[in-house]
Structure 1
């Protein structure tokens, strides 16, 4: 081996070693930043909504719980549920027990705590609820928020466990560097609660329903990688106008309703990631209004 070749190999070895050191330093820094973010204290002033226990509020709250994804993470009985369990990456996430039963994380919640957790993604202690998709619920009207709370406080007591948050190293590093954000970091906490919207097949009500899509499809409904999802999850579809929008597949409300009720596109292919267990329980009015709104975006 010539002297020049040996020098070149040594230089390559030095560069490779430096790259490894830099990668290890970046991983260490990302983990430190992630820990700090998870432990950060968020002082978010919130105003409690008036608690309700009337039958209409409880019924509306039960509908919202069943159709807006709450049951997907917390279980149909509120006792908690594992909703990501990926042996390949070691990612395991479970929503905690939130029913009135013993051991519930909501035991002792004051009215303001419900608002802070659901609308802002922050625990009573001021910590970010890392996987709580509060960006989907931040725009609840006070009436709907009070109704959801009414159901959570009155639902049958169940048994359950604490939250589980086992995140693989790459996800923790990305979270540390801000490539993945928790809901508390995404939400504009200064926005006032929205004005009530009359339920009906209208663009306005459809826009209100579409707030539930923001966590996966993004704040502009442009789709893309689902934040914090396992690496094998497909990207969320583009619902907004533009190249690649899937709304051309759903020319009428019946086609979108079919998707939500069956989890299948018109051609029979399955959509793998959407929470159809909840979405299938949405009312015809909500689905028709949602379709009307999404199609109106395509028209400008």
Structure 2
């Protein structure tokens, strides 16, 4: 009997080891998957003053994730630690065409996908705003990393990768994009597509890996114009409520919208059928 138990235990250990090795191998295959997206030529030409180029660039949500020199987006035992890298150090490693591919397609310099990069939204960035964004990135003074180390995947994260459950937006963005050349005069819909829709739906709540985001149309309708400006500038809800991720993103990014732009965003959200 003892011998039988030893054989069964050894078999179970062997099965577990095979499963662990298999999950690790599959997760590594997922992380090393490459995308056939060419880094098309992109010439940075912007006639905007440096201050306006920076203002437009900052409205496109870079700071909310990356902060000034890198930021931890997720740190959960078993799942892993996901780091948004230091852009002041990363940008000089890419030429302009490679930066455009990274931003619009979520494809890194080596052809692999960037996890949790909102390329599905950034695919909508117009050429003139992309030029402003890259010009701003090129102007940044290089800073030491604010976060030691990079992204690391735990056992549960590895299982998610092996099962293809971790989002890589490089899977969703078409390779043959034709973005608009110029930023629209009324940025309401444009801001929704480049920024807001990453976290929010218009009419229904949207569950992400980290939080539940409310539907934007009823939210925008429930806010006065003054309170909506306060929301985007400070990330604070009515009564000064802290709104977590929204508060952080607003304070890093959305506070750079002008009054007119905020009015256009609210008008677009409230007039949707």
- Measured against the shorter chain, the TM-score band is 0.7 to 0.9
Structure 1 residues 268 and 108: CA distance shift in structure 2, 3 A = closer
What's the TM-score once normalised by structure 1's chain length? 0.73
Unpaired runs of at least 5, structure 1: 1-17
Which of residues 214, 218, 229 is equivalent to 1:257? 229
What's the TM-score once normalised by structure 2's chain length? 0.79
1:37 deviates by: 1.8
The aligned counterpart of 2:72 is: 83
Partner SS state of residue 256, structure 2: coil
Which of residues 42, 45, 50 is equivalent to 1:52? 45
Which of residues 162, 170, 182 is equivalent to 2:156? 170
Distance 1:84 1:193 in 2: 28
Distance 1:225 1:82 in 2: 22
CA contact (8 A) 1:216 1:236 kept: yes
Equivalent residue runs for 1:276-287 within 5 Å:
276-277=250-251, 278-287=253-262
Distance 1:140 1:107 in 2: 21
1:96 maps onto 2:85 in alignment: yes
1:267 deviates by: 4.2
1:88 deviates by: 5.1
Structure 1 residues 127 and 247: CA distance shift in structure 2, 3 A = same
The aligned counterpart of 2:130 is: 145
Unpaired runs of at least 5, structure 2: 1-11
The aligned counterpart of 2:167 is: 181
Equivalent residue runs for 1:222-261 within 5 Å:
222-227=204-209, 229=210, 234-239=211-216, 245-250=218-223, 252-261=224-233
Partner SS state of residue 280, structure 1: helix
Distance 1:94 1:267 in 2: 32
1:116 maps onto 2:101 in alignment: yes
Partner SS state of residue 64, structure 2: helix
The aligned counterpart of 1:208 is: 190
Distance 2:158 2:263 in 1: 39
1:289 deviates by: 1.1
The aligned counterpart of 1:134 is: 119
Structure showing greater relative contact order (alpha-carbon pairs closer than 8 Å, 6 or more residues apart): 2
- Higher mean Cα deviation, 256-265 or 114-123? 256-265
Distance 2:104 2:149 in 1: 19
Structure 1 residues 210 and 197: CA distance shift in structure 2, 3 A = same
Distance 2:87 2:162 in 1: 28
The Cα RMSD (Å) is 3.1
1:266 maps onto 2:238 in alignment: yes
